[in-house]
Chains A and B, each alone.
Chain A
């Protein structure tokens, strides 16, 4: 099955790292798909990749550059990212813009867990990638990939808006090279989901203690 992972007005060769895309495409081809499902998939991925909604999440400096790409000069609306959502339930990807500290780490994990599948993570800037200049600190997580899986890394301190756009286009290409039907949308059972959520809030089976007599 042939997949179109091209980005409008940017040539395939313009991207520096095509190996991982090739790898993903190879895997897709090897597994093979039904023609109808494959075509449907292609359409879905095209739509999905062009309307990726970010979560408004910023802890420090990189967040200001994230705002800058939202403004008129860099304008990520051109690529379909403009609908920044304040609720993780509505967001497609989380741009970890800034340092993640020990106190913030459980909050970030929880935000990630609250997002609906399929979801993506972009680690923006030195701090999110490796701890950056604060790597030696007693209170900084050295890399968000220690706590949540990362799809795209954008280096810089902070990265220029152009670099952020490049990174987001890489994410688009990744989305285009995925299998949606029977692939990444293959969720987990409701029971498992509930278990995960319960583990997340550290609540053991104490929900039975609620006094429900006053409820209608």
Chain B
């Protein structure tokens, strides 16, 4: 505790000002931001960058909000830094303190045009290289960029900015690949990339030397769309981000808005939401197993997975009316009460699912080919997992207990008994086993709750027009594939000023390069399959 006070005093010494609107954050002047970041990382032990959000504060300039967590003590701190010079906004890069900042800073550069001084590879992340302007700025003119049907050429040089003593910038260019390197292109249309992700892979024989991921082929601008939607309207977009975690995503956004409104939802709603989240997790993990096995040539398991998945979808559909996209949670409740058969159906499913898992073990887990290909490939160390912010099953397979359900219990998770599955190996097989074991844990959670759903309202009374007070809030849930966070900044209107979704998949894509180096090209399929990213969630 003393240490925390010490750190806070030191921050104040660096010119940080505390502002307590919403969750509260420290505003730090640009000049001392790098020092503050180093202080928090090295002395404060804040080793996990939860989220990095680019911001356009109008007159106050362009800047970023950093959400940090100490993975040992569980402390959280929020920093904000802004540069007033809109034309040449710049911030010092923190990519060397938190590896996860690398892609996040590229995203902020892409959306806001903030130059990160010292960043080694400041190319656009989502938009085309020839895109004009930065779309998330409040003064962006969409007519600048009509539909361009020219094929895109790939940038072969990484850009980086350095600052001279008199405040000017030097732009440096470094080649991404050497002249004699053999570079092949995988994606965006490739069946094993799970969507429209694109890798440029440098090979030496069969061995991977470097991977350059390209995102943005399904960048739909959801965060920008949220800025012109009322709060209830923003809910619909979350289901379509990570469509295998539709329930959890929407839960996170509803939770964040409810927190800002100061609304406490009833136990019945909490309970229903928890059960739905877990059903969704089972659905997602089953699909994960199916797709992984299909990519690796075990087509039978694909059919098994989809057979069992349909049973979950039937239960969800009966109550919510939607198979894949349920649009079920609302601000202060859920769309409709649970179906009269819901409890019975869920119990039947639990009874069915437990022994069904053995089938997967018999046909795939013990299979020689599967084990040879999975064990020992794509090892992600615990330090790297934390540094990249690779949460979810991937982080837990590397021995990092990163489950939001345990770290920051929400809904009913504080009251139920379940085990957080962790492995030490960090290889593909551990990532696969985490998911299979988590299905069992999800069944346990549902089993504890299903008989004890409290009576009460399924929808609290909420005004039709929702206005949030001024401030910023962050709340997170454990999505199907990691921490899914929502950051809202409100300026008191009926529209949010800025909404940011912490992507569960972006850190996973960020660590592909690190963990696939010196692996074989065929292992990339297994690594991609076990990392389990969903592309629309990365690109947003």
Contacts and interface: CB of A to CB of B under 8 A. Distances in A.
Q: Do A and B bind each other?
A: yes
Interface SS of chain B? loop
B236 interface: yes
B435 interface: no
A99 B196 CA distance: 11
B240 A60 contact: yes
B225 A134 contact: yes
A80 to B, nearest CB: 18
**How many A residues touch the partner, as a band?**
35 or more
B376 to A, nearest CB: 28
B236 A133 contact: yes
Contact of A147 (B149, B150, B220): B149
B149 A64 contact: no
A200 interface: yes
Give the residue among A65, A73, A202 with the most B Cβ atoms within 10 A: A73
Contacts of B195: 58-60, 63
Interface in B287-324: 287, 302-303, 306-307, 310, 323-324
A137 B307 contact: no
A39 interface: no
B211 interface: no
Interface in A75-131: 86, 88, 98-99, 101-107, 109-111
A83 to B, nearest CB: 13
Interface stretch (A10-18, A24-32, A138-146): A138-146
B152 interface: yes
A60 B225 CA distance: 18
Contact of A99 (B135, B149, B218): B218
Contacts of A110: 151
Given A61-B240, A107-B189, A138-B142, A101 B325 contact: no
A109 to B, nearest CB: 6
Interface in A172-190: none
Contacts of A67: 306
Contacts of B189: 57, 88, 107, 111
A55 to B, nearest CB: 8
Contacts of A8: none
A103 B190 CA distance: 16
Contacts of B142: 138
Nearest to A62: B324
B243 interface: yes
B217 A104 contact: yes
Interface string B203-228: 00000000000001111111011001
A201 B307 CA distance: 43
Contact of B221 (A60, A107, A140): A140
A158 B217 contact: no
Contacts of B302: 71
A138 B135 contact: yes
Contact of B188 (A61, A107, A140): A107
B224 A138 contact: yes
A68 interface: yes
Nearest to B188: A107
12 contacts: A57-B189, A58-B195, A59-B195, A59-B217, A71-B302, A99-B218, A103-B152, A106-B150, A107-B196, A137-B220, A138-B140, A138-B221
Interface of B: 126-128, 135, 140, 142, 145, 147-152, 188-191, 195-196, 216-222, 224-225, 228, 236-237, 240, 243-244, 287, 302-303, 306-307, 310, 323-325, 535-536
Closest 5 CB pairs between A and B? A71-B306, A137-B221, A61-B243, A60-B536, A138-B142
